[in-house]
Amino acid sequence: MESQLSFETIYQLLEPFEPPVGPAYLHGLWCGLIAGEQYCKPQDWVDLAWDATDVWPTLSQKAQALLLQLAEQTIVGLSTFDFGFWLLLPDDEVTLQLRADALNDWCEGFVYGLHNQRYQHTLLTGDGAQALADITKIGEIDFGIIECEEEEQSYMEIVEFVRIAVLTIHQNFLENTGNQGGPIAVH
């Protein structure tokens, strides 16, 4: 598998087109789509996010290929239920405030993507339902961050919490629909 694409790579790819949402939101949206759907394809992401922004048709074929690579990498990462899944967020060199803002965006995108799926929200039970409620709250938090070591540690813990919450939601959905964790179909 190719190396994971970075936030910075996707940001630089999209920046000239001034999309209304950033890479973190778009990746969260994609993760929300695939967390609640066993059979989701990258074209679903294009249809929901990219076509609505009118950015997709203006991207070069190379840029489109890189974004579809990100979509495929995310499918594989989420289907492994381990450390292969990651949130597309800015690197540690970026200020903590900007990283926290991107985490908010990622969570908002995830919730939007999950709510745009065809499944019934009643399929999420117990830990899955609680994980969705937690991600929703994290997406609404106004992080007033003071750059310090304790805040940095808290941010890293929240990112890991969200990552595990997404895996929990996906697993809960699969269990409640009769699929015990097989790989997500890529079409």
Residue 40 forms part of a structural domain: yes
**Which residue(s) pair with 185 in the sheet?**
39
Q: What is the pLDDT of residue 164?
A: 94
pLDDT in tens, the chain (187 residues): 467 889 999 999 888 877 778 899 999 988 998 887 756 778 777 777 765 567 777 777 888 888 888 888 888 888 876 678 999 999 999 999 899 999 999 999 999 888 876 655 567 888 998 999 999 999 988 777 666 788 888 899 999 999 999 999 988 888 877 765 444 444 4
Residue 1 forms part of a structural domain: no
Residue 186 forms part of a structural domain: no
What token pair was written down for 109? 């995108």
Q: What is the pLDDT of residue 183?
A: 44
Number of domains present in the structure of the chain: 1
Q: List % helix, strand, coil for the chain (3-state, nearest 5).
A: 65, 0, 35
Residue 85 forms part of a structural domain: yes
Q: What is the pLDDT of residue 184?
A: 47
What token pair was written down for 120? 């019934």
The CATH number for 132's domain is: 1.20.120.740
Please give the residue range of the domain that contains residue 140: 7-176
Among the residues of the chain, which ranges form H helices?
7-14, 23-35, 42-45, 51-53, 61-79, 96-115, 126-140, 149-176
Residue 182 forms part of a structural domain: no
Residue 45 forms part of a structural domain: yes
Residue 46 forms part of a structural domain: yes
Q: What is the pLDDT of residue 98?
A: 92
Tens digits of per-residue pLDDT, 81-108? 667 899 999 999 999 989 999 999 999 9
Residue 171 forms part of a structural domain: yes
What token pair was written down for 1? 């598998």
87, 159 in Cβ contact below 8 A?
A: yes
Phi, psi at residue 152, to the nearest 5°? Answer: -60, -45
